Structure 1
Amino acid sequence: MRLSLRARLLLLTTGLLLAGLTLISAVVSSQLERYQLDRLDSQLRSFTEIIAQVSPSGPNREQPARPELLDPALDLIGAPYLAYLGPDGTVVGTLRSSRVAAASFPADDALRSLPVDGSAVVLRAANGSGRWRAVARPAVGWSGTVIAAAPLTEADATIAKLRTTSLVSGAALLVLLTAIGWWALGRGLRPLRRIEHTAAAIADGDLTQRVPGLAAPGTEIGHLAASLNTMLGQLEQAFADRAAAETRMRAFLADVSHELRTPLVGIKGSTELYRMGGSDVDEAMGRIDREATRLTVLTQDLLLLAQLDEAPEGQLDRAPMDLRTIANDARHDLRALDPSRSITLTGPQGRGAPGPAAVSGDEDRLRQVVTNLVGNAIAHTPAGTPVRIGVGTEGDHAVLVIEDEGPGMTEEQAGRVFDRFYRADQARKHSAGAGTGLGLAIARSIARAHGGDVVLRTVLGAGSSFRLTLPLLVSGQADVRRVQLGHAGNAE
């Protein structure tokens, strides 16, 4: 079974802490032991050097040892055992503390093996009960060796106590820090659990869930929460867009089916009526021709929209041109369709004369855009309603405006006017001469294929203004000049 992140982190930190405490304890014990041995070695060397020079004739065997004086003296200098070796290595004299049992002193054989250069050596007691530290030096004035030895019992007890204390205190500290670490890791990982719960809720379908502000924005958890919330917002928007797209697609397919069925039903009805003798050939063929034309236009519009959706740039045959040419032709078209209207040709803001608007575009497609906008103004405003056509530049864009003083639209109508098959005037949906509801959708798709757009500005009761904006031609002054000369020739 895999351990949790909290348990793994705790095991890692506990292992590192244990290794650190063990290393520190070993270093401290080693240093303390080395210090004690160095201090004891220094005392033994000094003592042997003094004793080697004080007894030039060797040990005095005739003077009996007095324990009440000898023991404090030996304890004072830290050497409870003093031995004299003859030239042949035999022990010729000793001074021993009465407080130490005779069997606990080093064996004579061990004393003979000591180097006489003052090096300190560790010896075992004769009965194996402990360790001794011994130093040997040659005697001065006679052929012998002076040896001083001190037990390591106290030093060993000190080291053992230190190690025991380190072990107990280290274990207690390890337990305490492990408990604190478990609590701290749990508190530190709590935001991740909150994120996990949020993700689980989202996986169950609740896309409105967000990660709460679990930490300061500048921390790692804060950055993670902000990034997750941004991602969740995008996911929610993507799902909402997909749902909306599916809804629009279903509505689109329903509208397409309905729009295609209407002319087909008309054609079918005309043939049935003629077959039953209810109409003559000319009347039946006329109705069939009108419905077939309507069906052809609808099919062509749908095909164009599909092509613009799939590969918009591939449907354009670009060339340098000036939007003033199309604006001037739109004025003539409006006059021909409704001579009673007042039509003015101005700059884009409604002031001054039309300005140059050189673009790189497909003239036929852009004419289709303007024709749809003009047809929309004719179809949705009363006869005689004034119309303004503005053309020129605004910033780095060429602009062509079709503005009427008609009834305008509501906010809901303005938000859907570019939807496919949408008609603001539902009463005209199936009236004679009514459009398919694709004109404005086609106009916007063509404009966006050129890198521009068509936008609507309208107020209910105060008219509507459709603005076609396209990027200005920037390929060179020669192209602009050629477009302007061509416009001048067309005007003549």
Structure 2
Amino acid sequence: MVLVVLGLLASGLAVTSAMKQDLLSRTDDGLTNAVQTWARPRDPASAPAQGMPPGPRRPPSQYYSMITIGNGDTIINNDFSDEPDLAGLPSGNAGPTTVKSADGDGPEWRVVKASTPFGESVVATPLGDVHATLSRLMWLQLGIGVLVVLAIGVLSYLLVRSSLRPLRRVEETAHAIAAGNLNMRVPSAPPNTEVGSLSGSLNAMLGQIQRAFARTAASEQQARASEEKMRRFIADASHELRTPLTSIKGFAELYKQGAVPDATDAMGRIDAEAGRMGLLVEDLLMLARLDAHRPIAHQPVDVLMLATDAVHSAKAAAPQRPIRIEVGDATEPPVVSGDAPRLLQVVRNLINNAIAHTPAEASITVGVGVDQSNGHDDVLLTVTDTGQGLTPDEASHVFERFYRGDSSRHRGDSGGGSGLGLSIVAALVDAHRGTVGVDSTPGEGSTFWVRLPRLDD
């Protein structure tokens, strides 16, 4: 706006100056023609006397004229109420000159002086009309300039308001986001504009911020869950270790006091509790190693051979149990890539879990085959029992550490496990990039299954 005002001011001054020069030039031309007409050679006797009516050679009436004859007489023709101050004019010819009025209050005069054969001739005209014209021109320019400035100001306001409307929407969106609504996005604008580019960048940034917040929230939730899981794990482990330690300490105190009638039986109980505690510590160490994601050995492993070995061991430990093995119809060998001892532990833990939680007459079937029903070539290992089964709630927690189902469930040939067997199964299967689950119907039995990626031939 300042530049517009300065431009209008500069143009106004230029126009006024040009108009002033043009008006003065026209005035000077008229004065020069008039004084040259009067200065032509002629008979001095024909010059009009002072106070006589003007003759045919008198300058036009819009001029003031003063003619000085050689004998010192002066003839003045003046149709104005004022006259110029000629005291400062030099002798001889004088080009167009601006002088003040004689009384000092009137308008300036433009004067031309020339020598004649019989004396001197002075022609002048007041500049009041010139000044009035320039004054009207300046007022006109001032009015036009004010209107132009106002019009430009209004148009600029409207244009700026219109151009800032998208930025106001950006501001409103920013306030909404600051209030906690991270789902808000800046309204889109044409991408070839600055606002459109800004909107796109802000929306991309908001998306990244929202995803970062989501990741942070998920990480915090996962950390809280892990912390709670670790706290529960430590409490459960402490409880499990306290039980055999308490038994060992109790038998030792009784032995020292001589209150144990059969020392051999007491030592056997202490040894059994120590063995139970040792197994628990080994299971805890294994879970800790699996949680640390330590690399495992990878070599071709025939799951059918592992299952056969595990079934033979289970029959030797529980000869009264009806345990058998079934092989699927697939022609491909059930071979996977993994650690054979760890996979053997998976099969044994599943069989031992079935033995521990089913009646002595319940049958156990170990199945091995190749399954392609889910679009993948997997080795499928199943352990099915005909026990009392699991409730849906028990089935959803059965692979958690130290989880034990309903205390009314039958514990067959085992005196009660640590609650880590199935947790170890889940961790080992996950380390082999497999999946584990259970399908169970209360009153009918359960089927624990393991899927492992089959090793291509």
Pick the TM interval, shorter chain.
0.5 to 0.7
Deviation at 1:193, TM superposition (A): 2.5
Please point out which of 364, 385, 392 is paired with 1:411.
392
Q: Which residue of 2 aligns with 1:381?
A: 358
Taking structure 1 as reference, are residues 342 and 250 closer, same or farther at Cα in structure 2, changes over 3 Å only?
closer
- What secondary structure is seen at the aligned counterpart in 2 of 1:23? helix
Cα distance in 2 between the residues matched to 1:412 and 1:366: 27
User: Paired residues, what number?
Assistant: 389
Q: Which residue of 2 aligns with 1:367?
A: 344
State the superposition RMSD in angstroms.
4.9
Counterpart amino acid of 2:431?
A: A
Is the contact between residue 217 and residue 223 of structure 1 (CA under 8 Å) also seen in structure 2? no
Q: Which residue of 1 aligns with 2:270?
A: 288
Largest Rg, 1 or 2 = 2
Deviation at 1:185, TM superposition (A): 6.5
Deviates more, 1:367-376 or 1:444-453: 444-453
Counterpart amino acid of 2:297?
A: D
1:264 counterpart = 2:259? no
Cα distance in 2 between the residues matched to 1:125 and 1:461: 131
In structure 1, list runs of 5 or more residues that go unmatched. 1-20, 71-81, 84-94, 115-122, 137-145, 199-209, 475-479, 481-492
TM-score after normalising by structure 2: 0.67
Deviation at 1:421, TM superposition (A): 0.5
Cα distance in 2 between the residues matched to 1:99 and 1:174: 53
Q: Which residue of 1 aligns with 2:71?
A: none
Q: Which residue of 1 aligns with 2:48?
A: none
Please point out which of 36, 55, 64 is paired with 1:58.
36
Q: Which residue of 1 aligns with 2:44?
A: none
Is the contact between residue 389 and residue 442 of structure 2 (CA under 8 Å) also seen in structure 1? yes
Cα distance in 1 between the residues matched to 2:312 and 2:98: 127
Taking structure 1 as reference, are residues 58 and 442 closer, same or farther at Cα in structure 2, changes over 3 Å only?
same
Q: Which residue of 2 aligns with 1:392?
A: 370
Counterpart amino acid of 2:292?
A: E
Cα distance in 2 between the residues matched to 1:306 and 1:224: 40
Cα distance in 2 between the residues matched to 1:330 and 1:97: 143
TM-score after normalising by structure 1: 0.63
Identity between Structure 1 and Structure 2 (%): 29
1:195 counterpart = 2:173? no
Cα distance in 1 between the residues matched to 2:223 and 2:410: 28
1:237 counterpart = 2:218? yes
Is the contact between residue 327 and residue 400 of structure 1 (CA under 8 Å) also seen in structure 2? no
Cα distance in 2 between the residues matched to 1:302 and 1:390: 29
Deviation at 1:100, TM superposition (A): 11
Q: Which residue of 2 aligns with 1:14?
A: none
Deviation at 1:178, TM superposition (A): 9.2
Taking structure 1 as reference, are residues 372 and 102 closer, same or farther at Cα in structure 2, changes over 3 Å only?
farther
Cα distance in 1 between the residues matched to 2:249 and 2:325: 46
Is the contact between residue 340 and residue 384 of structure 1 (CA under 8 Å) also seen in structure 2? yes
Taking structure 1 as reference, are residues 49 and 388 closer, same or farther at Cα in structure 2, changes over 3 Å only?
farther
Counterparts of 1:47-446 in structure 2, within 5 Å, are: 55=33, 58-60=36-38, 62-67=57-62, 151=131, 152-165=134-147, 188-198=170-180, 210-211=181-182, 213=184, 216=187, 227-275=208-256, 276-313=258-295, 316-336=296-316, 337=318, 341=322, 343-347=324-328, 352-353=329-330, 355-382=332-359, 383-392=361-370, 394=372, 395-406=375-386, 407-427=388-408, 433-446=415-428
- What secondary structure is seen at the aligned counterpart in 2 of 1:455? strand
Please point out which of 467, 473, 480 is paired with 2:449.
467
* 1:26-84 deviation line (CA, Å, top 9, x unaligned): 33443455456567767877x599879x95992436413313xx7xxxxxxxxxxx99x
Cα distance in 2 between the residues matched to 1:282 and 1:96: 160
Is the contact between residue 334 and residue 368 of structure 2 (CA under 8 Å) also seen in structure 1? no
Taking structure 1 as reference, are residues 97 and 412 closer, same or farther at Cα in structure 2, changes over 3 Å only?
farther
Counterparts of 1:4-15 in structure 2, within 5 Å, are: none
Counterpart amino acid of 2:430?
A: R
Taking structure 1 as reference, are residues 363 and 462 closer, same or farther at Cα in structure 2, changes over 3 Å only?
same
Deviation at 1:439, TM superposition (A): 1.0
Cα distance in 1 between the residues matched to 2:352 and 2:3: 91
Deviation at 1:308, TM superposition (A): 1.4
Deviation at 1:298, TM superposition (A): 0.4
Taking structure 1 as reference, are residues 391 and 333 closer, same or farther at Cα in structure 2, changes over 3 Å only?
farther
Is the contact between residue 414 and residue 458 of structure 1 (CA under 8 Å) also seen in structure 2? yes
Q: Which residue of 1 aligns with 2:116?
A: none
Counterpart amino acid of 1:447?
A: V
Counterpart amino acid of 1:322?
A: D
Q: Which residue of 1 aligns with 2:196?
A: none
